Structures are given as structure tokens and as C-alpha cells.
Amino acid sequence: MHRPCLEFGVHPLSVVAAVPSTKYGAGAPLVTLVETIAQLMGSPRLDVGYSGPVGEAARAYLPRHYHPVPSNMLEGAHVLVIDDTWVSGARAKSTATSLKWEGASRVTALTSVMWW
């Protein structure tokens, strides 16, 4: 329903990805939600792996620890990155940077906000 808003003024979305969970890994509930969103949008879902520190250290900007798989679908892509929380924004920014390094032309982040 909100896809036109996400694509307004930019290229159509071509790939959907979740910010990887540093706590739950591939079994995170967000992965299932993003799979459903990708299916509804008719876009492929890209897995993004994480191989960095856990806990508070994971909230740093660490794009070298984020690995899109398979990265061959990223050349020129507009990727929708979905995150379930936003505290510092470092994980979403790290994911976006890693996607750009692998060839994405644009990255749009969609997230909820958590207030402390």
C-alpha cells in the first residue's frame, strides 16, 4: 500500500532486505516479516549476513561486518532495507553502506523508532 511513497522521486524498488539481527541471526522474526513483504511487493528478498561483535559493540558503524548474499542481484538496484528498531541508526547505515559497496545504486531504509 505504501510502495508508491517509498518510490516517490526515486527509482522503483527492486530488492528487499532486513537489517540482520546481531542477537538472533537468521532466525530473527524480522526475517519472516521481510520475506512476506518481499512476496507482496513482487521483489526478491536479499539476505544480509553479520559477522561482527555482539551487544553494545554491535551498535557502532561497522559496514565491513555486513555481507549481502547473493550480492550479484545488487548491481544498479534500489534496495528497501527494513529494520525493526532505530536506536543509533548504525546498523541500518552499516547495512546500507555494505549494499552500496556491492553495487546497489540506492538504498531506502524503513524502520520503527524506539525511544529510550
Which pLDDT tens digit goes with each residue over 41-84?
888 999 998 998 988 888 899 999 999 988 788 999 999 999 88
- Domain presence at residue 56: no
Question: So what's the pLDDT on residue 65?
Answer: 93
- pLDDT exceeds 90 at position 32: no
> Contact, 78 vs 11, CB < 8 A?
yes
Cα dihedral 72, 12, 15, 81 sign: positive
- Domain presence at residue 116: no
Distance CA 74, CA 55 (A): 29
- Domain presence at residue 107: yes
- Cell numbers describing residue 110: 524503513
Round the average pLDDT of the chain to a whole number and report it.
83
Report the CATH number that the domain containing residue 99 is assigned in CATH: 3.40.50.2020
- Domain presence at residue 65: yes
